[in-house]
Structures are given as C-alpha cells and as structure tokens.
Amino acid sequence: MKSFLSVRAREIAPYTAGEQPSDKQYVKLNTNENPYPPSPKALAAYRAFDFSSLRLYPPLEMRALREAVAAAEGVSPENVFCGNGSDEILALCFPAFFDEGGAGAAFADVTYSFYPVFSEFFGVPYTQVPLEEDFTLDLSELTAAKAQGVLVANPNAPTGIGIPLGEIEAFVRANAERVVILDEAYMPFFGQSAALLTKKYENLLVVKTFSKGYSLAGMRCGYAVGCPALVDALARCRDCFNSYPVDAVCQAVCAAAIGDGAYYAEKTALVVSERERLSAELAARGFSVLPSSANFVFAKHGEVGGREVYEQLRARGVLVRHFAKPRIAGYCRITVGSREQNDALLAALDAFLPR
C-alpha cells in the first residue's frame, strides 16, 4: 500500500508525555501536576463566564489576560505573549528565532526532552551541552556553543536543579548577540524569575505556564515575557498556524488566577515544605536525591534500579516517571504531592525496598 505520509511524519520521533492511565486509580506523581486546587477566584471566573458567548471566537488580542499577566510580572501588556500552554510557545520559538540549516539551537543534554523534538520538527540544527557530573549546568559551556540561540530550563527538568538569578543575568549579558530563551515552567517553586530582566535585555525571552504553580494544567495556557520585537515574532509565527489558540473560558480563568498571588503563595509554600520532607524521607530509604527547586525530586536508589522502582511502585498503585536515557536511567522523577499522596508513595516504597 502506498504511504501518503511525508518523510517528516514517517521519521520524526515525537515527544513522549507522561502516562495518563485509565485502567485504575493511581496516586499520580508522574507529570508534576499541582496537588492543590486552583484559586477560588479562578473558579468564580469560570462560574461567572457567559457561556452563550462561546458562539463567537475568543478575543484575538487576549487583552484582559495579557494585562493580568503584565500586572503580575511587572511589565507592560506589549511585553506579553499568550499561547496554548508553554509547550506551544516553546515550539513557536523555533521558527521565530532559528533558521533552518543555520547555526541552530543549543541546550543541555539532560533537560526538557521537547527541545530536540522541536529542533528536528522545524529543521533546526542543535547542540547538546553535557551537564556536569553533579547534573549542574556550566553556563559558560553553553555560551561557548556555536548557536543562533540558547534554551535553558530553570529550574531544570528532570533534575529539578535551579540556577540563581545572578548567574542567569550574567549569562544573558554574555549572550547579548543571540536570543536566550528561559523556560521557567517550575519557577513558582524556586522564586528567582528573570521576567523583570526582560526590561533590561532585549535578547531575553522568559516562558512560563499556568499548569504547575497555578494548578491549571487542564486549561492549557502559558505565556512569554520579552521585548515587543520578540513578542511580535511569536505572534507572526502563531498566526501561520492558529490565530485563536487560547479559548475564551481559559482566558477568563487564567486572568483571575494570576491575580490571586496570596492564594498561590500559600499553596506553593506547602509544596516546598513537602518537597523538603519527601527528599529527607527518600534519603533515609537509601536514595540519592538531587537538590530540587521544582515541584518534583529526582532520586536514585543505591541498590534498586530506576526501572524497577518505577515498576514496583506502579504495581502498588503509585505512578512516577522513569526515563530510559542511559545517563539518567537509574533515576526516577517523583512529583511532590500532598502529604497524603507522599505518604502513600513512602508506604509503597517500604513494601519492596531492601531494609
């Protein structure tokens, strides 16, 4: 039978998302969702929404949402771009800031695995800079890479390690002649965002999401902060795919959510507290746990392999994330859940780990 697929569709290796099983109920600690509900203000915005208006397309300029984001980030609405999750925005960065067959992109070898997928899909060459032995990123090595632009996840995924803001600013300054894209998906749990640096450095784009810190993974919304020229480039590329990527309900809910800083500060503090407790409990059970600034931990047991830890936990109704990449195959990435979820994880570990 004749194949009607393009070479790209036949050969591309797509991103593999965390499993979303439907066979039974699990303690789900594999996709870094927030264990706490969204802001009551977000829920109120949803309930107050005029659903009869859904016959119309959503606001094209997303003005109310961009104004709410701008107020929260301390920038102007013209510095804000909104999209259907930070993944869409990161994808748009490739046609917006990188040329096919050009100098390409540079990023770490152990980082968000969507970066090489986007590079391959858009025909952008890429360089992967190895992390250090302790899984930290030597920013000078990334600066030395020959590339049209660089991407840095801060805190990094799946390691959870954060880079202090002072080091990030020095890095942005050292790369003034090329675009620096900071993926700050997990920044709410670190608290050292570079968003305000976009006022000072026109080569900096900071990408964020409502999925993690704002407990709105199901709404699919993200945003970027940068100078108007970078924002316009993203908009030009977006409008070659879909001019209405963020639905009207989502815009209203996310605008309300980002305005409730006090609520999310309280919930973030709970996640951070549980992160520290979970790290200590895992260490007491023989795990090496990397220092995390995110809402997950990256842990390796001294005697039991990463794949076995994942399988044993899954059999006991607890999901964590395991990556087969050789350098990190011994590790599992474990989302920080509620106290009850974390206790269920620890009990499941105690059922099979060597004493």
> Could you say which of 3.90.1150.10, 3.60.110.10, 2.40.50.140, 3.40.640.10 is the CATH number of the domain covering 55-260?
3.40.640.10
Q: Is the pLDDT of residue 18 over 90?
A: no
Q: 157 with 294: CB under 8 angstroms?
A: yes
**Residue 16's pLDDT is what?**
85
Q: What is the pLDDT of residue 1?
A: 66
Partner residues linked to 318 by β-bridges: 27
- For residue 253, pLDDT beyond 70: yes
Cα 52 from chain centroid (whole Å)? 33
Cα torsion 318, 319, 320, 326 to 10°: value is 120
In this prediction, residue 68 carries a pLDDT of: 98
Nearest Cα neighbor of 217 from 36, 51, 64 is 36
Phi, psi torsion values for 72, nearest 5 degrees: -70, -35
| 314 vs 307: CA distance, rounded Å | 11
Residue-by-residue DSSP string for 287-340: EEE----SSEEEEEESSS-HHHHHHHHHHTTEE-EE---GGGTTEEEEE---HH
Contacts of 289 (CB under 8 A, 6+ apart): 279, 282, 283, 297, 298, 299
pLDDT of residue 3: 83
Kindly report the pTM of this predicted structure.
0.96
Q: Count CB atoms within 10 A of the CB of residue 116.
A: 18
Beta partners for residue 297, in sequence order? 334
Indicate the pLDDT class of residue 15, thresholds 50, 70 and 90: confident
**pLDDT of amino acid 23:** 76
pLDDT over threshold 80, residue 24? no
Taking only the tens place, the pLDDT of each residue in 161-199 is 999 999 999 999 999 999 999 999 999 999 999 999 999
CA distance 212 to 339: 17
- How confident is the model over 205-229, as a mean pLDDT? 98
- In this prediction, residue 19 carries a pLDDT of 85
- Rounded to 10 degrees, the C-alpha dihedral 55/70/171/119 comes to 0
255-279 pLDDT, tens digit per residue, is 999 999 999 999 999 999 999 999 9
Q: Average pLDDT of 224-236? A: 98
User: Residues 69-100, buried b or exposed e (16+ Cβ, 10 A)?
Assistant: bbbbbebebebbbbbbbbbbbbbbbbbbbbee
Q: What is the dihedral of CA 320, 207, 325, 22, to 10 degrees?
A: 30
CB of 70 closer than 8 Å to CB of 64 = no
Architecture of domain 7-37+262-350: Alpha-Beta Complex (3.90)
Mean per-residue pLDDT over the chain, rounded: 96
Confidence of residue 121 (pLDDT cuts 50, 70, 90): very high
What are the pLDDT digits (tens) for 51-106? 999 999 999 999 999 999 999 999 999 999 999 999 999 999 999 999 998 899 99
* Residue-wise pLDDT tens digits, 311-338: 999 999 999 999 999 999 999 999 999 9
Cα maximum dimension of the chain = 61
Q: How confident is the model at residue 47 (pLDDT cuts 50, 70, 90)?
A: very high
Order of strands across the sheet that contains 126-129: 80-83, 222-226, 204-209, 179-183, 149-153, 105-108, 126-129
Q: Is the pLDDT of residue 340 over 80?
A: yes
CB 323 within 8 A of CB 108: no
Contact between residue 299 and residue 292 where contact means Cβ atoms under 8 Å apart: no
In the chain, where the domains are located: 7-37+262-350, 55-260
Which pLDDT does position 245 carry in this prediction? 96
pLDDT for 101 equals 86
Q: List C-alpha distances in Å: 133 to 96, 124, 136, 143, 265.
A: 33, 28, 7, 19, 33
DSSP string, 1-17: ------HHHHH-----P
Percent of the chain with pLDDT over 70: 100
Taking alpha carbons only, the member of 241, 340, 334 closest to residue 288 is: 334
